[in-house]
Amino acid sequence: MRKQLKEAKRIVIKVGTSTLIYPNGNINLSAIDQLAFTLTDLQNQGKEIILVSSGAIGVGLNKLNMDKRPPTIPEQQAVAAVGQAELMNIYNQRFLTYSQQIAQLLLTRDVIEFPESRQNVINTMEQLLKMDIIPVINENDTVAIDELDHLTKFGDNDQLSAIVAQLIQADALIMLSDIDGFFSDNPNTNKEATLFSEINEINEELLELAGGKGSRFGTGGMYSKLKAAERILEHNGAMILANGKQPKIIFDILDGEMIGTLFI
């Protein structure tokens, strides 16, 4: 099954905040540079690459010298606005080192659910890929809130990456997280926890194994990753969940090596 990943041409890469931000809140420039190098090289090989990137709030907290998320939604949105600009500055700088042009797309769920705007998003992504530009996609945190009747949020970027993969009919979604894949239990607390190498169906038993939220800077836990995988499987796609500590691991994944958990 993994051998077919070598043939993948259109690939969505999702990076979590844990890849971009150190546990102490500082920005992991080494990982970002490695990500830019890896994705540019894949682009140079003739593949079509789309990056779905978390990290706006994490980078914003760092920029504003704040050590934890503020409690109110307007404060969080202000931090995200600062962080999104700074994150794109860093991405632009690193990708241009390798002569790779990138572009930013900020999305909300209502844009995707409304047929005309959804088609506009697809058209934009297709045109960028045609121009050998890597789209960098994030949720528009400054307007997307999930309260009252204003349900514009995707929930998290795990869901967003699966939706993007679906919209552009990607051959594979590679989700980089702070864990080596999907385990039978939390490997940080249970040494007996075993890694699932391949999963073909998301059932209640697996969802129960998935815990809560991820790091203090991110929002996605293992449950959201399983729900994203469920969406991918419903559309006969492939998703790999792997550790994003060293983003060049993407090369090995696309070489068909037994890394992480393959959902197919």
pLDDT at 146: 52
| pLDDT score recorded for residue 155 | 60
Q: How high is the pLDDT of residue 153?
A: 54
Structural domain harbouring 211: 2-263
Which residues are part of a known binding site for substrate?
A: 54, 141, 157
pLDDT at 148: 32
Query: Which of 113, 125, 124, 105 is closest to 152 using CA atoms?
Result: 113
Q: Please give the Cα distance from 136 to 125 (Å, whole number).
A: 10
> Which own/partner contact pairs does 82-86 have at CB distance under 8 Å and 24+ positions apart?
83/55, 83/56, 83/57, 83/58, 83/59, 84/56, 84/59, 84/60, 84/138, 84/141, 84/142, 86/59, 86/60
CATH code where residue 243 lies? 3.40.1160.10
pLDDT for residue 139:
86
**Binding site membership for ATP: which residues?**
14, 177-178, 219-225
Structure tokens at 107: 């999305």
Q: How many domains does the chain divide into?
A: 1
Q: What is the DSSP letter of 25?
A: S
Binning the chain into helix, strand and coil, the percentages to the nearest 5 are 45, 20, 40
Answer whether 177's CB lies under 8 Å from 241's CB: yes
Which segments of the chain have a pLDDT < 70? Answer: 144-155, 211-220
- Summarize pLDDT for 112-146 with one digit per residue, the tens: 889 999 999 999 999 999 999 999 999 887 776 55
Which residues are annotated as part of the binding site?
Answer: 14, 54, 141, 157, 177-178, 219-225
